[in-house]
Amino acid sequence: MNQTIIVTGGAGFIGTNFVLAWAKQGLGTVVNLDKLTYAGNLENLVELQHNPQHIFVHGDIGDQVLLARLLAEHQPCAVVNFAAESHVDRSIHGPEDFIQTNVVGTFHLLESVRAYWGKLNEVDKKAFRFLHVSTDEVYGSLGKDDAAFTETHAYAPNSPYSASKAASDHLVRAYHHTYGLPTLTTNCSNNYGPHHFPEKLIPLVIHNALAGKPLPIYGTGQQIRDWLYVEDHCAAIRRVLEVGKVGEVYNVGGWNEKPNIEVVKILCRMLDAKKPRADGKPYADQITFVEDRLGHDQRYAIDATKIARELGWKPQETFETGIEKTVNWYLENQDWVNNITSGDYRHWVEKHYVERGEELA
């Protein structure tokens, strides 16, 4: 066994940031297995196209024949599982893909990894890690005065997306408990940063603002999310991979709770300063309150004490520094956004916003 790792979903938002940082730090070969759904984008990885330490494989985590071949060929010391359907609103429109990838896909991945791991020699078996990247949404919703989610908070997923992630977390837990597979699970709060698909709040607002379109706020905009800069999440995953205790769960968060409306107003003010509207009016004029998300979780907040205390990880970016980097990246990478929003994306906007009577096309 060598220092090669297999990353799944490495052409998506967080996976891309993880793979780019891994390559930049020269940490070893990455075999990047991605199905390239609408959310996967090879353009994200263009700077690695001549890097022999990045091997892209187009495929599904549910394909056990492919997985058996990749595992045998590359003999990885770890598998990091990012692959998932990740957008809550899409899971409300059509949950099936979420069950297929997040539950059945993770199950097939675990089976393949278990078969590979079972044949390793004792030293390699001990060193091997399966790291499952999960979400704070599995814990459900908090009231405004509730304590933040710790690792022992009871699971109470509320959307088809979070239910499918919860199911995958339970499978990972069971594979450790039953078979001894050396697993690690991270449950992280809302990420933001470069390469974030513009169906999610922050990149959607930046994109719509610059395009002169309404900025859709669900319900009252008072729902709270705990935002973490994506590179901090990737650093946490590397730390867990390196020194995390086998079988454990680590919550990862930014200690940075904000109501959605505040996030959107911050973005508007930043754009007013960096790229003022031609008519001189504030971008906040484009804010539009729209029909709420079904079953919308009120508040997420992560208590990231355990990973700080036991593994020495804490976020490096504040919201101010992270959001500045993010807005700059979107302003400098308008082609990336335009390429994405010219295709299937339009169908999503029509289905989700326009069919509900919002004029966002």
Assess contact for 146 and 139: CB atoms under 8 A: no
Q: If binding is defined by CB under 6 A, does position 286 make contact with ligand DAU? A: no
What residues does 186 pair with on adjacent strands?
133, 250
Q: If binding is defined by CB under 6 A, does position 223 make contact with ligand DAU? A: yes
Q: If binding is defined by CB under 6 A, does position 137 make contact with ligand DAU? A: yes
- From the list ligand DAU, ligand NAD, none, partner contacted by residue 105 (C-beta under 5 to 8 A by kind): ligand NAD
Q: How far is CA 40 from the centre of its chain?
A: 12
Q: Tell me the Cα Rg of the chain.
A: 20
Nearer to ligand DAU, 54 or 87 (CB): 87
Strand 54-58 versus strand 78-81 pairing type: unpaired
The least CB distance from residue 29 to ligand DAU, in Å, is 27
The least CB distance from residue 136 to ligand NAD, in Å, is 7
- From the list ligand DAU, ligand NAD, none, partner contacted by residue 293 (C-beta under 5 to 8 A by kind): ligand DAU
User: Edge to edge, what strands does the sheet with 183-188 contain?
Assistant: 54-58, 30-34, 5-8, 78-81, 129-135, 183-188, 249-252
Residues in contact with ligand DAU, shown as a per-residue x/- string from 256 to 285 under the rule CB under 6 A: ----x-------------------------
Strand 78-81 versus strand 5-8 pairing type: parallel
Residue 7 per-residue DSSP state: E
**In the structure encoding, which two tokens stand for residue 256, read together?**
């940075």
- From the list ligand DAU, ligand NAD, none, partner contacted by residue 34 (C-beta under 5 to 8 A by kind): ligand NAD
- From the list ligand NAD, ligand DAU, none, partner contacted by residue 12 (C-beta under 5 to 8 A by kind): ligand NAD
Task: Quote the CA–CA distance of 324 and 215 in Å, as a whole number.
Answer: 19
The least CB distance from residue 92 to ligand DAU, in Å, is 10
Nearer to ligand DAU, 190 or 326 (CB): 190
Assess contact for 102 and 165: CB atoms under 8 A: yes
Q: Reply yes or no on whether 248 is catalytic.
A: no
> Which amino acid does the sequence have at 292?
D
Residues that bind ligand NAD (CB under 6 A): 8-9, 11-15, 33-37, 39-40, 60-62, 82-86, 101, 105, 133-135, 165, 188, 190-191, 197
Q: Reply yes or no on whether 137 is catalytic.
A: yes
What is the full DSSP assignment across 237-284? HHHHHHHPPTT-EEEE--S-EEEHHHHHHHHHHHHHHHS--TT---GG
The least CB distance from residue 88 to ligand DAU, in Å, is 4
Residues carrying an active site annotation: 136-137, 161
